[in-house]
Structure formats: structure tokens, C-alpha cells
Amino acid sequence: MRIMIEINIHEAKTHLSRYLAKVAKGETIIVCNRNVPIAEIRPLLQRRSKQRPLGLATGEFVVTKG
């Protein structure tokens, strides 16, 4: 189970760069308005640095003509 950080809006505004550094390391942050969750900040999926090679599923399935 992943632990999420919950912060109120004032805390998020005051220390935004600190929390974004945590997000960059994989943390998820829940932003609350008076302790009521209203938003989630989470890291984006990283793009592949190189293309996937062709033929990874060779022999796994058969394509038929319809």
C-alpha cells in the first residue's frame, strides 16, 4: 500500500517546490480544502527513451483475414 501525503492549500502554496520534489520521486500528494480532499498531484508516466523492438509477440497470436 502506498502512503499518500495530505496537505491543505495553504501548506501547498507555501512549500510547493518541496512537495513537487517529492512528487518527482514518486509520491502522491492529496490537496485538501479545510481537510476535505479536493485534488491529487501525482507523477506523470515516463516516456520510453527508445522505441520498442518489433517482433516481441512473434508466435503469440494469429491474425486472420475477415
Q: Where are the alpha helices (DSSP H) in the chain?
A: 9-14, 16-24
The total domain count for the chain is 1
Torsion sign (Cα): 32, 5, 7, 15: negative
User: Which pLDDT value is given to residue 3?
Assistant: 67
Decide if 26 is inside a domain.
yes
In a domain, 22, yes or no: yes
Flag whether 55 is in a domain. no
Report whether pLDDT(2) > 70.
no
> Distance between CA atoms of 42 and 62, rounded to whole angstroms?
39
In a domain, 65, yes or no: no
**What is residue 62's predicted lDDT score, i.e. its pLDDT?**
83
Q: Is there a domain that residue 57 lies in?
A: no
Is 1 a residue whose pLDDT tops 80? no
34: containing domain: 5-41
CATH number of the domain bearing residue 33: 3.40.1620
59 in any annotated domain: no
Task: Tell me the pLDDT tens digit for each residue of 4-62.
Answer: 899 999 999 999 999 999 999 999 999 999 999 999 999 998 777 788 788 788 888 88
